Chain A
Amino acid sequence: MTLVALLAVPLLAAAFNAFPRGRRAMEVVHFVSAVMMLVLSLVVAGQVLRYGSISWASGFFYVDYLSGLVVLLTGVIYFPAALYAIGYLRHDVLEDAGDEDLSAAQVRKYYALTPLFGFCMFLVPMANNLGVMWVAVEGTTLASILLVTYYGRSTSLEAAWKYAIIGGVGLSLAFFGTVLTYYAAHHGQGQDSMEALNWSFLIQHAAQFDRQASRLAFILVLLGYGTKLGLAPMHTWKPDAYSEAPVPVTALMAAGVLNCAVYALARFHVLIAGCLGTAFGSQLLILFGLLSVGIAVPFILVQRNLRRLLAYSSIDHAGIMVMGLGFGGALGAMGVLLHMTFHSVLKPLLFFCAGNIQQARGSDALGRGAIGLLRTMPLSAPLMLMGVIAVTGTPPFSMFQSEFTILRAGFAAHEFAASILLVLFLVAIFCGFFFHVSQLVLGPAPAAPQNPEPTDFENDRWKTLPVVALSVVAIVLAFWLPSPLYDLISGAARILEVRP
Chain B
Amino acid sequence: MSFWNDPQFGDRIITLMAALVLVLQITMVGQRWLITNIRLFGVQSFLLAAIAITIAYFNRAPHLFAAAALTLVLKAIVVPIGLERLVSKIEIRQEIEPFVNIPLSILISGMLTLLGYVVAESFHRPDEPVGPATLGHNTLAVAISLFLIGFFMMVNRRKALSQVLALLSLENGLFLAAISLTYGLPLIVEVGVFFDVLVAALVLAILIFRIQEQFDSMDVSRLRRLRG
**Residues of A participating in the B interface, judged by any CB pair closer than 8 Å:** 129, 131-132, 134-135, 138-139, 142, 145-146, 149, 152, 154-155, 157-162, 164-165, 168-169, 172, 175-176, 179-180, 182-183, 186, 188-190, 192-194, 196-197, 212-213, 216, 239-240, 243-244, 299, 302-304, 308
Q: Does B220 contact A (CB under 8 A)?
A: yes
Chain A residue contacts of B171, Cβ below 8 A: 172
Interchain CB contact under 8 A, A183 and B181: yes
Interchain CB contact under 8 A, A135 and B195: yes
Given the interface pairs A159-B226, A161-B223, A240-B226, the reply to whether A192 lies near B187 with Cβ below 8 Å is: yes
Q: Does B28 contact A (CB under 8 A)?
A: no
Q: Does B188 contact A (CB under 8 A)?
A: yes
Interchain CB contact under 8 A, A304 and B147: no
Chain B residue contacts of A299, Cβ below 8 A: 228
Given the interface pairs A183-B181, A186-B182, the reply to whether A154 lies near B225 with Cβ below 8 Å is: yes
Interchain CB contact under 8 A, A131 and B186: yes
**Interface residues as binary, B184-228 with A (CB distance below 8 Å gives 1, 0 otherwise):** 111111001101100110011011001100110000100111101
Please give me the 4 A-B residue pairs with the lowest Cβ-Cβ distance, nearest first.
Answer: A131-B189, A190-B183, A135-B192, A158-B223
Partner of B210, one of A149, A188, A212: A149
Interchain CB contact under 8 A, A160 and B207: yes
Main secondary structure of the interface of A (DSSP, over half): helix
Given the interface pairs A131-B189, A157-B211, A192-B187, the reply to whether A168 lies near B220 with Cβ below 8 Å is: no
Further contacts, 18 of them, CB under 8 A, given A154-B215, A157-B214: A132-B192, A135-B192, A138-B196, A146-B206, A157-B210, A157-B223, A159-B226, A160-B207, A164-B203, A165-B154, A169-B167, A172-B171, A175-B174, A175-B193, A179-B182, A180-B181, A192-B184, A239-B228
Partner of B225, one of A129, A155, A164, A193: A155
Interchain CB contact under 8 A, A192 and B226: no
Q: What is the CA–CA distance of A98 and B115 in the complex, to the nearest angstrom?
A: 57
Main secondary structure of the interface of B (DSSP, over half): helix
Q: What is the CA–CA distance of A217 and B178 in the complex, to the nearest angstrom?
A: 13
Chain A residue contacts of B183, Cβ below 8 A: 188, 190
Query: How many residues on B have C-beta within 8 angstroms of the other chain's C-beta atoms?
Result: 50
Interchain CB contact under 8 A, B192 and A162: no
Chain A residue contacts of B122, Cβ below 8 A: 212
Q: What is the CA–CA distance of A162 and B123 in the complex, to the nearest angstrom?
A: 34
Given the interface pairs A131-B192, A157-B214, A304-B228, the reply to whether A188 lies near B185 with Cβ below 8 Å is: no
Given the interface pairs A129-B189, A161-B160, A168-B167, the reply to whether A179 lies near B203 with Cβ below 8 Å is: no
Q: What is the CA–CA distance of A216 and B154 in the complex, to the nearest angstrom?
A: 23
Q: What is the CA–CA distance of A212 and B123 in the complex, to the nearest angstrom?
A: 8
Partner of A179, one of B123, B167, B178, B223: B178
Q: Does B163 contact A (CB under 8 A)?
A: yes
Partner of A190, one of B154, B182, B193, B207: B182
Q: What is the CA–CA distance of A446 and B207 in the complex, to the nearest angstrom?
A: 41
By beta carbon, the residue of chain A nearest B210 is A157
Q: What is the CA–CA distance of A182 and B214 in the complex, to the nearest angstrom?
A: 43
A355 vs chain B, min Cβ distance (A): 19
B51 vs chain A, min Cβ distance (A): 15
Residue among B154, B186, B204 with most chain A CB within 10 A: B186
Q: What is the CA–CA distance of A186 and B201 in the complex, to the nearest angstrom?
A: 32
**Interface residues as binary, B104-139 with A (CB distance below 8 Å gives 1, 0 otherwise):** 000000000000000100110000000001100100
